[in-house]
Chain A
Amino acid sequence: MENKEFEEMLYRHSERVRAAIEPPGIYKEEICVKKNKILILAAAVCLFSVSAFAAQKYFSAGEAAHMLGDDRLAEEFGEESGEWESDGDYKARLLGVTSGENISSFVTMSEEANPERSYAVVAVERTDGRDMTYDDEMLITPLIEGLEPWKYNIYTMHGSYMGRIVDGVLYRIIDFDSIEYFGDRHIYMAVVSDMFFDKDAYYYDEDTGEISVNESYDGTNLLFDVKTDKSKADPVKAEEYLKQME
């Protein structure tokens, strides 16, 4: 079948499917139920937080991975943890970054395409002392020196994440295509208080390839340095990867 004919068939199929499907129809009633659930959950979390406050302790990267059910990754990370940095409503800490093949207990679709993955664990907390909630939108993404941040970020690097809030602190593991080949470049971890990458959050110097924080950005836009292993840098493979992304 010719491509054009095939595409027309898909469009016709689309019309029939559209006529047949029934969307879930969630409206205000569900919002109310959800809100009630959230309130109950928030109350439970508050009670738990009060009882646990005296013994509050932040997770290391390994502990966070273990808490999120990824025991294999927990072994890779160990006890490392970084420094807190704050900006606006949030503060964050890059707990650890690791790379390898088949080092996570979970397998994602992206992993099938690019088995060599990098993983990062980040903790995020509110600066006003309130607990984080799942409505606090955070984007955590690797950025690479010499590559435009709006083109090369967790979205285009086949990333995904999972996270959980414990004692008001959000712990998130993100995974993305391996950054090891770029070990000879400056690699950053960006934490932005938005669901999507906002081009205005960071400056990109087209001459030097450096990425820096836009201080006038209206929101949290932190930038951490990621330790790299220059011995694992492979410019040829890095170039192949970039070509594959085009």
Chain B
Amino acid sequence: MREEFWNEYRKIEKDLFITAICYVHNTEDAKDCLSEAAICGYKGYGRLRRKEYFKTWLMRIVINKCKDFTRKRRYTEGLEDNLGVFYNFPWEDIEITEAICRLKREEALYISLKFYNDMTYEEMARLLKQPVSTVKYRTGRAIEKLKKIMEV
């Protein structure tokens, strides 16, 4: 069972990590959230009845850990605090990454799930427990806002 969890985890860890980065806005905090989520998932794996929902289930845990993290931390950090933490990203991509981090966290989450996890609106709706129409609308709004930030 334990081996099975880690095997499944390894397949999706980048997806989870990207989502955490988009939500907490920097790689180091995202690592902490992901670590916490992985341990939580590892302990609860036996109770997951439908293994085909492993990614959805673990993604929810990651999002909850990120929310928990940002709730505990005073929401005071400015974007300047995040500069440099994407040190291993391609330079030309930093602009886009930073623009995503200028979005509100939940807007960034929609972008992350849609474009960085290749999820369909239906999958996002199941994950976020929101109606598909809500997910579509909010994703569209997040895209518009991202375009505005990037001035494209």
Contact residues of A with B, CB < 8 Å? 1, 3, 6-7, 9-11, 13-14, 16-18, 20-24, 26-28, 30-31, 34, 106-110, 112-113, 135, 137, 150-151, 153, 155-156, 158, 160-162, 195-197, 245-246
**Interface 1/0 per residue, B32-70 and A, CB below 8 Å:** 001100111011100000000000000011001001101
Known: A13-B96, A17-B93, A107-B75. A24 touches B133 (CB 8 A): no
Name the B residues within 8 Å of A160 (CB-CB).
67-68, 70-71
Known A23-B34, A112-B104; judge A195-B60 contact (CB<8 A): yes
Say yes or no: B44 contacts A24, CB within 8 Å: no
Tell me what chain B mostly uses at the interface: helix, strand, loop, or mixed: helix
Q: Mark B16-42, 1 if CB is under 8 A from A, else 0.
A: 111001000001000100110011101
* Among candidates A7, A16, A17, A246, residue contacting B143 with C-beta atoms closer than 8 Å: A7
Interface size class of B (residues with CB under 8 A): 35 or more
Q: Is the CB of B18 within 8 A of A108?
A: no
Q: B39, A246: Cβ atoms under 8 Å?
A: no
CB-CB < 8 A to A9: which residues of B?
Answer: 96
For B23, give the chain A residue with the smallest CB separation.
A109
- A21-B18, A245-B134, A246-B131 known; A30-B147 Cβ under 8 A: no
Chain B minimum-CB-distance residue to A158:
B106
Considering only CB atoms, which chain A residue lies closest to B147 in the complex? A6
Chain B interface (Cβ within 8 Å of chain A)?
A: 2, 6, 13-14, 16-18, 21, 27, 31, 34-35, 38-40, 42-44, 60-61, 64, 67-68, 70-72, 74-75, 88-90, 93, 96-97, 104-106, 111, 115-116, 118, 128-131, 133-134, 137, 143, 146-147, 152
Chain A, residue nearest B116 (CB): A14
Closest-CB distance, A38 to chain B (whole angstroms): 10
Complex: how many Å from CA A31 to CA B115?
31
Q: Which B residues are in CB contact (< 8 Å) with A31?
A: 39, 42
A196 to chain B, nearest CB (A): 6
Q: How far apart are the CA atoms of A179 and B109 in the complex, in Å?
A: 25
Asked if residues A17 and B18 are in contact (CB atoms below 8 Å), the reply is yes
Query: Would you call A24 and B31 a contact (CB within 8 A)?
Result: yes
**Other-chain contact of A27, B6, B71, B131 (Cβ < 8 Å):** B6
B70/A16 in contact, CB under 8 A: no
Tell me the smallest distance from the CB of A200 to a CB of chain B, in Å. 12
Which of B72, B96, B128 lies in contact with A162, CB distance below 8 A? B72
Nearest-neighbor residue (CB-CB) of A69 within chain B: B72
Cross-chain contact B35 with A26 (CB below 8 angstroms)? yes
Contact status A17-B89, CB under 8 Å: yes
Q: Tell which of A17, A110, A161, A197 touches B97, judged by Cβ atoms closer than 8 Å.
A: A17
A31 CA to B35 CA in the complex, in Å? 9
In the complex, the chain B residue whose C-beta lies closest to that of A246 is B134
Take A3-B143, A6-B143, A245-B134 as given contacts and tell me if A137 and B44 are in contact as well, using a CB distance cutoff of 8 Å.
yes
A31 to B6, CA, bound (A): 11
Task: Output the least CB separation between A194 and chain B (Å).
Answer: 9
